């Protein structure tokens, strides 16, 4: 059974957090102010369509609106079960924690989604650190990444990953002698070359 009192409190709480009046919320949801007032007094419930609009407006889950439970911002397995894949991926790509969250989501992505993310990174459309993504790439994805970076003459960016590469990957990078490798290793240690 739905708890009208809890739902009304959540609507009031989120409306006030957004700094909205009842009129502004009503306008945003294309309903009357009286409807919002009834929801907030616990006299009626919004339709499921309006409730879904509210979750998007307030950036909360439907569970939060109905029973007060919240999903963690980093609980991608649960998000994938409750939301369309595109919206979960969109949320991740637009978060401020890409480098921290990559470990929580990358293994959940399909091969196609992973490739799209790698392509966005190569095209510099994604503000994700190469170093953060590298451990989660398959052998094939690493080869694809190296090949594309070399074709774009981004060898310098590959140097940051050199210490994490297998011998085969290092051969693919085909650096110009030990001087370059020594320079990178020394630079990481804070030494001057």
List pLDDT tens digits, range 136-193: 999 999 999 998 888 877 767 788 888 899 999 888 887 544 334 434 444 444 544 4
Do 96 and 177 lie in a common domain?
A: yes
- Global confidence as pTM: 0.55
- Mean pLDDT score, 123-141: 90
The pLDDT tens digits of the residues spanning 18-30 come to: 999 999 999 999 9
Please check whether residue 141 lies inside any domain of the structure: yes
Looking at the predicted structure, is the pLDDT value of residue 110 above 90?
A: yes
CATH for 62 = 1.10.260.40
Please check whether residue 42 lies inside any domain of the structure: yes
Q: What is the pLDDT of residue 70?
A: 63
Please check whether residue 11 lies inside any domain of the structure: yes
Do 29 and 60 lie in a common domain?
A: yes
Domain boundary among 67, 95, 114: 67
- 132: containing domain: 76-188
Question: Would you say 158 and 173 are in contact if contact means Cβ atoms under 8 Å apart?
Answer: yes
Do 54 and 103 lie in a common domain?
A: no
Q: How far apart are CA 164 and CA 75, in angstroms?
A: 27
Please check whether residue 193 lies inside any domain of the structure: no
Q: What is the pLDDT of residue 171?
A: 87
Please check whether residue 113 lies inside any domain of the structure: yes
Tell me the pLDDT of the chain averaged across its residues.
83
Q: Is the dihedral of CA 51, 53, 54, 58 positive or negative?
A: positive
Strand, coil or helix: 4? helix
């Amino acid at each position: 059974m739905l708890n009208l009192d809890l739902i009304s409190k959540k609507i009031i709480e989120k409306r006030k957090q957004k700094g909205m009046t009842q009129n502004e919320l009503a306008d945003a949801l294309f309903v009357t102010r009286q409807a919002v007032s009834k929801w907030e007094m616990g006299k009626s419930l919004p339709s499921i369509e309006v409730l879904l609009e509210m979750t998007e407006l307030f950036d909360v889950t439907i569970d939060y609106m109905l029973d007060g439970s919240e999903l963690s911002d980093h609980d991608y397995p649960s998000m994938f079960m409750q939301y369309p894949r595109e919206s979960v991926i969109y949320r991740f790509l637009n978060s401020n924690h890409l480098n921290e969250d990559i470990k929580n989501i990358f293994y959940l992505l399909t091969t196609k989604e992973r490739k799209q993310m790698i392509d966005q990174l190569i095209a510099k459309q994604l503000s994700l650190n190469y170093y953060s993504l590298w451990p989660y790439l398959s052998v094939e994805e690493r080869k694809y990444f190296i090949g594309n970076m070399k074709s774009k003459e981004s060898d310098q960016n590959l140097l940051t990953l050199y210490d994490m590469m297998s011998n085969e990957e290092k051969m693919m990078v085909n650096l110009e002698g030990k001087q370059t490798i020594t320079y990178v290793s020394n630079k990481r240690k804070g030494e001057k070359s």
